[in-house]
Every structure is written in C-alpha cells, then in structure tokens.
C-alpha cells in the first residue's frame, strides 16, 4: 500500500466513526449534534526525492594497482648481481616499492661495508666525508628512483644529481648560471622527519608509506625507478664503489659500474622510454636519466642465474628491513597508506590522501592549534590550490600538455600539519617536501624565527640570525616583519648572491662555494646534521633510533620544533595571513618549481574571502627587501614566479600579476 493510499484510508475510517457514533435523539434544551465531518480529500502523493547531484567529472586517471611480487624482487636482485659479478664489483643491492617499503637488501660476498660522502673542495664540513653504511646508501638510491618518478616522468639518481648542485646544468662551463631547480631536495624524506612513516614488522601500519630514507634523497648514480605496464612500482639502488657522491660534469659520458649494475636489475621492469628524464626539458636543458644504456652491459639480464646461486645474503637493516624478501604493496590501496579519498572525506573524486592502513585518514583538515585557521578554512585552501593545479600545464610530465600533479600541505604557526591532499599520480617525494615548504615559509616569516634559531646547539645555526641581519642591513630581520616565501629562502641559501654570479659571497643561509657540496649547503644541512648523525649511530648499533622530529628547535604544543621535518630551500611555499597576522603556511611540491609557486600563491589568493585569510600584503612581501651589494648595487629578493601562460585550454597570461 502506498503512503498516499494508506493516509486516505485512515481519514475515511475516521469520518465513518464520527457519522455513526452520535445519539439518535436529543432532549429539549440540548444543543443539536454537530454535523458530521465531511470526508477529507486524499493527501497528494509524497514528492519523489530529488536526484543525487552528479559526481564531478574526473580529471585524472588512477594509477593501476600494480606491484612487485616476491619472485620479481628476487629476479631484479639476481639480474643486478650477475652484472656486478661480470664487473668484478661486489655490491649491496636494495629494492623498494613505490611507497618506500624496503622489500630486500642483498649483500654480495666481498661487498664494501661502507661508503664515504664525497667531500667538497675544502675537505670535511658537515656531512661531507662521513662514512655511511653501504646498505643505507643503497636504500636511499632506491627510494630516490621511486619517489621522484610517476607514470608521467621517470627520474633516476643521476637526474637528482643534475638538479641539486650549485649550477644548472652542473658543468665547468655553466659556472655563472643559477643553481639546480631542486637545490636542497636531497635534504627531504629525512630519517628524523615526523611526516614520513617508519618500518614496522607487523600490524596495520607495516606497509603504509611514504617511508623515510636513511640519508634523504641520493645524487649518486646507481638508482632507478621500476615500472610495470607504465606504472611506477618501486626502485632499485646499488652501492659498491665506496664513493657516495654526485656527478659534477654533465657534458661527459660516464661508464659508471653502479649505474650499469642497477640498469641490469631494471630489465623487465624498465621505465617507458618516452617518460625517461632525458625527454624532459627544464629551462631549455634536457635532464639526464643515465649515461650508458643496455649496450654497455656485460651480461644478458634475462639469462641471470637464480639469486640462490649468487654468493651473498639478504641482510637486515635496523629500522628498514628484517632481512627477509617480501612482495611490494600496490600504490593506491589502503595498505599502501596513499589512496583515493572516500566520499565522506572529500567531494572531489580526484583527491588522494594519506591513511594509516586501517581506513583512518592522516592529516584531514583540522583547526589550528594556535587558533589561526579553522578546519573549514584549511579545506578551502586545499581545495582551491588543487583546483589551480588541475588546470595547470605540467612542466615535468610526459606527454606534453599533461596536467600538473602535486602534493599540497597547510600548517599553522606551531608547524602542526592541518591538512594534506595530493593528485593521484603526483611523485611521492612531494608529500614530505610540501610540508617542508609550508613550514619553512611560515617559520622564517614569524616572530619566532630569530629566538628559535638562536637557541640551536649548532653554532652555525645560532649564528644565522646575526649573519642575516648584517647581510640584509636590517636589525629586525627574522622577527616577523617580512613575509618570506620559499623562493626567497632559496635566494638566501645559495653559495652565491645573487644566485649563480661568480665572485659573490653566499647568502646568509648558504655557504661559500669553496666549502659547498650537496651534502653541506649551509643552514639546511646544519639544522639536521645532528639528527642524521644520531640515526647513523642507530644503524651502527651505538644508540637508539631518535624520536621523530628534525632540527633541535624549541618544542611547540606537539613536543617538536616548527621545522620537524627539516628546512626546504627551493620554491613552492608562501606564508598565510589573516588581516596582516601570520596564521600558517601552504606548501606545494611535485612539478616544476614555477608551477609549485603558482599553485601555492594563486590557490591562496582564490581562497581569500570574508574571513580575511590570504597571501601576505604586498608591502611586507620579500620582494620588497633590497639587499645591498659590495659594489653599491641593491638586489631584491624574490617572492614567487608563475609560468607565463600556465593553464591548459586557456590563453590567460601573467595570471599572478597584481595579486
């Protein structure tokens, strides 16, 4: 029976009862009985529920859930080990999955136990010249290949070497050019980071990522991504020659044993040729993926003997692997810790989020611990920046005219992460780096920068405050008077100021070119060298693994400093303000640095509303700071740089101008 028919039947029965229940006659003086009620008209049928709003159209494809099986991992190691035997170079080989789980570490008989971080021109400074376990170096190389890559770009540790040095491209002929576009990215995914996950042998979090790296990202050739059906599924890293270095000369063609051994391991799991780094142009320069190809191999990888036939053993690495060989996790699954957002987490079907392995989202939009931002405002900032990204043309992805894909993070003034969202196929390194950029821009724009840095146990860090004030000729520098973007931080962190100009001194956050190397670049490395040293002590069994939190800065409400995963010094982050008051920072990472800048800045601009949340006022931005040079000139710091005509299907130009 329908609701309308039932309602009509009940009313009709009630009418009948009234008509038959009154007395037949009345005594004199009594009022006449009331007239019987007229039958009520049936109620109209209930209106049908409005149709559900259609889901927004998808702009991005989900990567297929590909992964490495145990047999795949064994085959990859065996192929690499066979090439190593042919070259008489016993090595350590590491294989990881896309989210950084270490699937195996194999030490060949006779392999060196350690590698030395290559010193810079003036000898041992910071992390230069330090011995590191060969297993740690191999894991860092494998993670670098996996984390820098996606279905649209395949980057190796040789690619990383090219983009983190003092000049881009690195060569004796390029001196006088600016530094690499990702100068400083090597100090991300740090073992002390509070963002990346740690190894667990069992439990729901055992397979979740992104996992940390023992040495950050590597610039030493010998690390490649691994693919299946065009989808990145992991990485391989090889360490054996004792030199954990970088390639300072891009013009020559090296025959690098570690690189060729790792290349042999990728047989059957190689990146599609059309997305390798040497198909990607940055500022008119093609990047480098490898120096030699399969023609330089001394073995046929498909004929490699089984792993059991190769002298050596799987080894345990504290905090990374228990010494067994295991299968990889498919990216995009709950188990991997990086997945598509559910409908109750986001209305945007393209949002990807971090999870804890049990279904609980990590870094869902949350209110600030300092009261500066509401959860709704955090969500608005993330959604707005994601919308800008989804319209933007990528710089690093193939094919050309692909959409940019990045990770986006918002933090408050205590450095607490208030929200993270990412595109489906954004490179994994961007999660940690987006938080670094947001925290860095917030911290160095805050009144706490000078007092926090001044308490650091490393004199090189504590002395930065006075050095910055002298350099800028501003006794109030680092007290919250100026909004400092990630790009401006980079200006102050280069070995030359202005960037690339030979004969100039370094910025106050950098170090002289005479003592510079990718392992010792100034404030960024000095902040965390103690954390890295403590972690190396853990790997060697000398001390416990330090708790999460980098930088040794004064603790905030969460018991960690405001830069709890380290400082970052390349573009893509801006501070956030409410009516002139600093309330946090937003960071973006995963594509070209100009795209990252634009998504952070323009996303914030478009989210600005009646609540007053927005970018810094133009009068306090870092590009209003003029730095006096020794020759009498004055040079402005930068704020942001946006691509000239960045949007797909849209001819708009100079989209950030006037904002």
The alpha carbon of residue 264 and the mean position of all alpha carbons in its chain are separated, in whole angstroms, by 29
Q: Is the pLDDT reported for residue 126 higher than 70?
A: no
- Give the integer Cα–Cα distance in Å for 530 and 212: 17
- Give the integer Cα–Cα distance in Å for 441 and 576: 9
Residue scoring higher pLDDT (34 or 308): 308
Tokens (6 digits) for 464: 């930065």
Q: Report the percentage of the chain scoring pLDDT > 70.
A: 90
Contacts of 50 (CB under 8 A, 6+ apart): none
Calculate helix-pair angle for 375-391, 593-607, nearest 10 degrees.
Answer: 130
Q: Which domains does the chain have, with CATH numbers?
A: 82-314 (3.30.450.150), 333-445+573-613 (3.30.450.150)
Residue scoring higher pLDDT (110 or 201): 110
Q: Is the pLDDT reported for residue 41 higher than 70?
A: no
| pLDDT tens track for 452-486 | 999 999 999 999 999 999 999 999 999 999 999 99
Structure confidence at residue 534 as a pLDDT band (50, 70, 90): very high
Q: In residues, how long is the chain? A: 659
Q: Is the pLDDT reported for residue 609 higher than 90?
A: no
What is the average per-residue pLDDT within 296-312?
97
3 state DSSP class of 605: helix
Residue ranges with strand state E in 160-279: 223-228, 231-239, 243-244
What is the average per-residue pLDDT within 191-216?
94
What pTM did the predictor assign?
Answer: 0.91
Which whole-number Å values give the CA distances from 592 to 277, 395, 402, 577, 623, in the listed order?
Answer: 13, 5, 13, 25, 21
- β-sheet bridge partners, residue 276: 154
Tokens (6 digits) for 582: 């600093």
| pLDDT tens track for 145-159 | 999 999 999 999 999
- Write down the pLDDT at residue 455: 92
| pLDDT tens track for 444-454 | 999 999 999 99
| pLDDT tens track for 321-358 | 999 999 999 999 999 999 999 999 999 999 999 999 99
Residue scoring higher pLDDT (459 or 121): 459
Q: Is the peptide bond before 210 cis (omega within 30 degrees of 0)?
A: yes
Tokens (6 digits) for 42: 């049936």
Q: Are 570 and 185 in contact (CB under 8 A)?
A: yes
- Give the integer Cα–Cα distance in Å for 134 and 243: 10
Residue scoring higher pLDDT (219 or 13): 219
Q: Are 437 and 566 in contact (CB under 8 A)?
A: no
- Write down the pLDDT at residue 26: 38
Phi, psi for residue 513 in degrees, rounded to 5: -60, -25
Structure confidence at residue 202 as a pLDDT band (50, 70, 90): confident
Task: List the strands of the sheet with 243-244, edge to edge.
Answer: 131-133, 114-117, 243-244
Q: Are 412 and 368 in contact (CB under 8 A)?
A: yes
55: left (phi over 0), alpha (psi -120 to 50) or beta: beta
- Write down the pLDDT at residue 170: 95
Mean pLDDT of the chain: 91
| pLDDT tens track for 284-303 | 899 999 999 999 999 999 99
Q: Are 235 and 157 in contact (CB under 8 A)?
A: no
Structure confidence at residue 76 as a pLDDT band (50, 70, 90): very high
Instruction: Give which of 209, 225, 211, 67 is closest to 149, Cα–Cα.
Output: 225
| pLDDT tens track for 82-106 | 999 999 999 999 999 999 999 999 9
- Write down the pLDDT at residue 518: 85
What is the average per-residue pLDDT within 168-186?
94
| pLDDT tens track for 497-529 | 999 999 999 999 999 998 888 889 999 999 999
């Amino acid at each position: 029976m329908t609701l309308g028919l039932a309602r009509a039947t009940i009313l009709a029965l009630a009418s009948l009862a009234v008509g038959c229940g009154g007395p037949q006659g009345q005594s004199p003086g009594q009022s006449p009985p009331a007239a019987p009620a007229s039958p009520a008209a049936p109620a109209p049928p209930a209106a049908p529920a409005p149709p559900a709003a259609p889901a927004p159209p998808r702009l991005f494809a989900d990567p297929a859930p590909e992964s490495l099986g145990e047999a795949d991992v064994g085959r990859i190691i065996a192929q690499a080990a066979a090439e190593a035997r042919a070259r008489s170079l016993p090595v350590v080989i590491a294989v990881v999955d896309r989210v950084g789980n270490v699937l195996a570490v194999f030490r060949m008989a006779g392999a060196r136990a350690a590698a030395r971080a290559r010193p810079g021109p003036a000898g041992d400074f910071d992390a230069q010249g330090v011995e590191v376990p060969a297993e740690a170096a191999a894991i860092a190389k494998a993670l670098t290949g996996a984390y820098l890559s996606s279905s649209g770009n395949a980057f190796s540790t040789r690619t990383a070497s090219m983009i983190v040095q003092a000049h881009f491209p690195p060569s004796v002929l390029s001196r006088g050019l600016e530094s690499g576009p990702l100068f400083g990215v090597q100090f991300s995914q740090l073992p002390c980071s509070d963002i990346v996950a740690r190894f667990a042998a069992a439990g729901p979090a055992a397979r979740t990522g992104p996992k940390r790296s023992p040495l950050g990202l590597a610039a030493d050739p010998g690390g490649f991504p691994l693919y299946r059906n065009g989808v990145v599924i992991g990485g391989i890293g090889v360490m054996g020659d004792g030199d954990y270095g970088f390639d300072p000369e891009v013009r020559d063609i090296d025959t690098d044993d570690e690189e060729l051994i790792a290349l042999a391991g990728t047989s059957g799991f190689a990146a599609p040729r059309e997305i390798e780094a040497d198909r990607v142009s940055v500022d008119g320069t093609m990047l480098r993926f490898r120096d030699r190809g399969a023609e330089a191999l001394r073995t046929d990888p498909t004929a490699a003997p089984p792993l059991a036939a190769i002298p050596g053993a799987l080894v345990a690495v504290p905090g990374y692997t228990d010494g067994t060989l295991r299968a990889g996790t498919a990216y995009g699954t709950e188990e991997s810790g990086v997945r598509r957002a559910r409908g109750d987490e986001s209305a945007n079907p393209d949002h990807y989020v971090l999870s804890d392995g049990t279904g609980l989202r990590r870094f869902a939009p949350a209110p600030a611990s300092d009261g500066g931002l509401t959860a709704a405002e955090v969500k608005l900032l993330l959604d707005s920046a994601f919308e800008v990204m989804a319209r933007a043309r990528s710089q690093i992805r193939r094919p050309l005219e692909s959409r940019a894909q990045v990770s986006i993070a918002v933090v408050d003034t205590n450095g607490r992460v208030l929200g993270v969202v990412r595109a489906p196929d954004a490179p994994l390194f961007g999660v940690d780096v987006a938080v670094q950029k947001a925290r860095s821009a917030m911290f160095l724009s805050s009144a706490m920068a000078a007092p926090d840095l001044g308490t650091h146990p490393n004199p090189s860090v504590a002395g930065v405050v006075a050095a910055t004030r002298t350099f800028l000729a501003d006794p109030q520098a680092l007290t919250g008077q100026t909004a400092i973007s990630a790009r401006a931080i980079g200006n102050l962190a280069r070995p030359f100021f202005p960037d690339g100009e030979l004969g100039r001194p370094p910025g106050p956050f950098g170090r002289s070119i005479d003592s510079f190397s990718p392992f010792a670049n100034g404030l960024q490395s000095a902040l965390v060298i103690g954390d890295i040293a403590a972690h190396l002590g853990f790997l060697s069994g000398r001390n416990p693994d330090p708790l999460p939190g980098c930088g040794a800065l004064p603790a905030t409400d969460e018991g960690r400093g405001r830069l709890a995963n380290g400082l970052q010094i390349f573009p893509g982050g801006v501070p956030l303000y409410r009516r002139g008051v600093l309330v946090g920072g937003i960071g973006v990472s995963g594509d070209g640095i100009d795209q990252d800048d634009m998504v952070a800045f323009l996303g914030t601009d478009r989210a600005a509303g009646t609540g007053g949340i927005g970018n810094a006022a133009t009068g306090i931005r870092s590009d209003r700071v003029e730095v006096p040079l020794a020759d009498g000139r004055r040079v402005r710091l930068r704020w942001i740089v946006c691509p000239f005509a960045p949007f797909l299907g849209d001819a708009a130009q100079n989209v950030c101008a006037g904002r």
